[in-house]
Amino acid sequence: MRKWIAFPHKEGTISRQAHADLPEEAIYEREAGRSGFFGPTAHFHHKRAPTSWEKWEGPLRPRAFDLNDLDKASLSPWSAKELLHNASCKFRIWECAEAMPALARNGDGDELLFIHKGKGDLFCDYGHMEIRDGDYVVIPRGTMWRLEPQEPMTMLLIEATNDSYQLPEKGLVGPQAIFDPAMLDVPSVNDKFLAQQDDKPWSVEIKRRDQLSKVHFNYSPLDAIGWHGDLSVVRINWRDIRPLMSHRYHLPPSAHTTFVASRFVICTFVPRPIESDPGALKVPFYHNNDDFDEVIFYHAGDFFSRDNIDAGMVTFHPSGFTHGPHPKAFEAGRNYAKKATDEVAVMIDTRDALEVSDEMSSVENEEYCNSWKASK
């Protein structure tokens, strides 16, 4: 058994409560925290923004990539480019414009699809469902599946390697908070599913230990006529997420957790009212995420805490340095210039350091780390 060292203490000029009523002579609050906002914390009050650096040297820096400029098209998810990865998580982006000629099956872990663009039909062991932009689709490890796009589809593929996706504990707010599990849709054994059960040759591409095997059939192996149990492909759309809110207190990203694996979490930022209390912080607080690497994929809207970030881009903030809102966003928050957010973004916080693929260097905005400079 382990227990965090805990010794609540106050020193110097501080606010009585975190993220609210900051002292005017030190309005820049920085949170140092452990276990990704779930562990002990300390809050520092600075005279200058802790992100007002003038120069970066070395590989540890905030990075931004424009995934719109990558070649993402292929007929198999296993051909999708691996962009970020560690032993517990793989992050890919894939564009599928035509019906998959073979079924896919992941033997390495659960797969999470986030549909960035397009719509289509998903056929899998459990039946058929239509999927569209904004959908999360959790595909349990070992499930056979394929897509028939109705229009070209661009999606994230986030693999929980040797792991599974589960729902977060919601504690005091109850199991229906954020989204009611009743909103999770499952595939149907419907007419469209039964109609695809043909006697044509089909193959299944199975990925295991990042190696592909192909199994051939003289018929469609998606030939179930029914199933029962509590394991299935499930779908939830960001439009069905009802975020936790507090008009008097800026909630940490962990309050927006959608799915959890053993070594990382998936959070979803969706439109919500901005805090209205005069003393409440109205933008994400400066923080050291000292135990997690942070990745954010920007899906749609106006990303209020970042400058020059558009849909289809991704930012990567490795563990080890302080980050937070850009200067313009911080000032806009102080002036309560916006009354609501208008953004949809997917965040991945990983407990283990992520490797960046060589593929990403061609689409990196090298000036991103300078966008916090004090002279800007």
Indicate the residue among 238, 254, 278 that finishes a domain: 238
Judge if 101 and 234 occupy the same domain: yes
Question: Is 250 in the same domain as 202?
Answer: no
Average pLDDT across the chain, whole number: 94
Report the pLDDT averaged over residues 80-103: 97
Report yes or no on 146 lying in a domain. Answer: yes
Regarding whether 291 and 204 lie in a shared domain, the answer is no
Together in a domain, 87 and 221: yes
Q: Is residue 16 included in any domain, yes or no?
A: no
| pTM of the predicted protein model | 0.95
Residue 4 lies in a domain: no
228 marked ligand binding residue: no
Does the pLDDT value for residue 262 go beyond 90? yes
pLDDT for the residue numbered 303: 83
Please tell me whether residues 284 and 215 are part of one structural domain: no
- Whether residues 271 and 190 share a domain: the answer is no
From 207, 238, 269, give the residue that closes a domain. Answer: 238
Q: Is the dihedral of CA 91, 97, 99, 101 positive or negative?
A: negative
Domain count, the chain: 2
- Residues 43, 85, 250, 299: which is the catalytic one? 250
- Tens digit of each residue's pLDDT (9 = 90 or more) over 291-341: 999 999 999 998 876 778 999 999 999 999 999 998 888 888 889 988 999
Residue 202 CB neighbours (<10 A): 20
Per-residue confidence (pLDDT) for residue 376, from 0 to 100: 43
Has 323 been labeled as part of a binding site?
A: yes
Q: Evaluate whether residue 43 is within a structural domain.
A: yes
Does residue 207 belong to any structural domain of this protein?
yes
**Do 49 and 77 fall into the same domain?**
no
Q: pLDDT digits over 189-239, tens only?
A: 999 999 999 999 999 999 999 999 999 999 999 999 999 999 999 999 999
37 vs 124 pLDDT, higher one: 124
Shared-domain flag, residues 107 and 213: yes
CATH code of the domain containing 294: 2.60.120.10
| Structural domain range at position 116 | 71-238
Do 197 and 127 share a structural domain? yes
Q: Are residues 251 and 296 in the same domain?
A: yes
In this prediction, what percent of the chain has a pLDDT beyond 70? Answer: 99
Task: Say whether 46 counts as a known binding-site residue.
Answer: no
Report in angstroms the alpha-carbon separations of 220 from 124, 148, 197, 198: 11, 15, 5, 6
- Which of 38-47, 89-98, 218-227, 343-352 has the least mean pLDDT? 38-47
Last residue of a domain, one of 205, 238, 271: 238
Q: Is residue 85 part of a domain?
A: yes
- Rounded CA-CA distance 350/160 in Å is 11
Whether 12 is covered by a domain: the verdict is no
| pLDDT grade for 37, boundaries at 50, 70 and 90 | confident
Question: Do residues 345 and 247 share a domain?
Answer: yes
Among this protein's residues, is 256 annotated catalytic? Answer: no
Confidence class of residue 374 from pLDDT cuts 50, 70 and 90?
low
Number of residues assigned to the chain: 376
Do both 345 and 275 map to the same domain?
Answer: yes
Share of the chain above pLDDT 90, in %: 82
Residue 52 lies in a domain: yes
Average pLDDT over residues 138-166: 98
